[in-house]
Amino acid sequence: MGYDVSDYQKIYAPYGTVGDVDALIEACHARGMKLILDLVVNHTSIEHEWFKESRSSKTNAKRDWYIWKPARYNAHGQRIPPTNWRGYFAGPTWTWDEHTQEYYLHLYAPEQPDLNWESKECREAIYENTMQFWLVRGVDGFRIDTVNKYSKRTEYVDAPIIDPNSPCQPAPEMWCNGPRIHEFIHEMRMKALEPYGAVSVGELSNTPHPSQVLPYVSAAAQELDMVFEFSMIRLGTGSMFGPKYIYVPFTLPQLKAIVAKWQTFIEGTDGWTTVFCENHDNGRAVSRFGDCSTPQLWQASAKTLALWQATLTGTLFLYQGQEIGMTNMPATWGIEEYKDVESLNFYAEAVDSGDTKRIAKTMQGLRILARDHSRIPFQWDSSPNAGFTKEGIKTWMQVHDDYQEINAAKQIADPDSILSFYKKVLRLRKQYKDLFVFGRFRLLEAKDEAIFAYVKESRFTVLDAQQQQINGSNCNSRVRKERAVVVLNFSKENQKCPDVRSILGCDVEDTVRLLISTQHGDGDEEWTLEKATRPPALKPWEGRVYVNFNADVDV
């Protein structure tokens, strides 16, 4: 089930078989784990039997399972596509089919024709052929690709001309969040997901306003359980169409504002949200949001990013390699090492422009943002090919030059590694889930250029006076909500730590507890701030969590 699907009920042979998936499902369930699959039903491959039938003739029963339109002709009598829309991979969204003398629509590559969700028969086939087939086998749900692009505006009109130098214009408003999208997704839930109790997380692009997102995740609406909203992870990219890979620097206040927006949008609602900073469509988080200029700062910043993610409200998603701090491909690698169709198309477009500055800037942007970075082989150990496959076998992308320094085996054996820290902070997240998973978020010092600080507040209150006495707490008997102050130094210099005591609402006589720090262990420093003590300065890329209650830090 990749992004160029030729058969929804088979596994691409190099990856295994359906039997292998069955074994994986059984093994996961035996360990108390759940398994969700990636579901791609905005489009299929041109090799899919549905498309082969659809393009066989204009009268075929599956003709309307895809979107076909006749050609237009310009003033010179030249054939042109039905609309001027620009696709996600650069170039037009329409490809001419010589056999039936019509164009078919593809928002992505020409090899990925879009399914026509306006066809009820097509939708029913999607539910039965692609979803129920796997749910019956025990899959627990789906990450649903491009979920808000199923309902296109059916007028199929030209988009406004934004780039007069291009025949193709950005047109996401023509296919994102279309007129029937909520009808379609509700139907999908009722017919395919709900009968199996399956979980759903949708990929929601070009939807930057909370008022647009909430209808997708409202429990009352019965559509999706949660979505990936991309405002934060797209920081640094140019326009999604055209100069996407012309890097645009961003500030920490910009990052904080976006995080605060999407942390608070569900408060007071029946909706839910996700937490993520890395996926298969973006550069590595530590290379984009952290600091890889030295090995020390790489490790420190990767841990601070881990603490940041693990203390945010919502369902947390980690991408493979994130837990060991895998970095972007080396800057010395040329364009020949980039394999993604999007990277290659945008680079080719820059080359075709003949603008040397644009070519250089596009390459610079690719080195930071390209999807290729997250798709190189996982670094298991220091053996040839990073343990991903046997020595002498050519991997589909080159193994990172630094695999002997950054790999899972090395970090498993190191209690101070990024991987070990992830294990520690995830245990804390589970232990104090009402605070970190479900707690209310309040941003502090929004304009600070170095410190990312926020309060997480639980629905529970601090222990009453009798319980406090039993547990040996020094806090007085005021009724207060359990709170945590998360303080993250996003810089390579020492920074003054905020006054966490006053932020937590503690008096000078109260004890403030340090729950965790990224840069010292339990025995390295005092874990309480007695009376009027102020916290020490934050070290470069250090993160800490302070709380206003007694906590077990032995995690």
Opening angle at CA 128, ends 127 and 130, nearest 5: 70
Smallest Cα–Cα separation from 149: which of 184, 104, 199, 111?
A: 184
Rounded distance, CA 502 to CA 513, Å?
13
> Is 352 assigned a catalytic role?
no
Joined together, the tokens standing for residue 319 give: 């991408």
Beta-bridge partners for 102: 97
Smallest Cα–Cα separation from 433: which of 362, 482, 471, 479?
A: 482
Joined together, the tokens standing for residue 210 give: 């909370």
From residue 210, how far is each of 218, 229, 273 by CA, in Å? 12, 10, 11
Smallest Cα–Cα separation from 126: which of 106, 108, 144?
A: 144
Residues in the chain: 555
Rounded distance, CA 298 to CA 294, Å?
6
Rounded distance, CA 83 to CA 268, Å?
42
Tell me which amino acid residue 431 is. Q
Smallest Cα–Cα separation from 89: which of 146, 158, 14?
A: 146
Q: Which residues contact 437 (CB under 8 A, 6 or more apart)?
A: 313, 314, 315, 316, 429
Helix or strand run (H / E) with residue 226: strand 226-229
Which member of 53, 145, 158, 381 is catalytic?
145
Smallest Cα–Cα separation from 261: which of 441, 436, 449, 438?
A: 441
Which member of 114, 203, 291, 342 is catalytic?
203
Query: Within 13 Å and on the Cβ side, how many CA atoms surround 419?
Result: 16
> Is 145 assigned a catalytic role?
yes
Q: Which residues contact 451 (CB under 8 A, 6 or more apart)?
A: 445, 487, 488, 489, 490, 495, 498, 538
The residues annotated as belonging to the active site are 145, 203
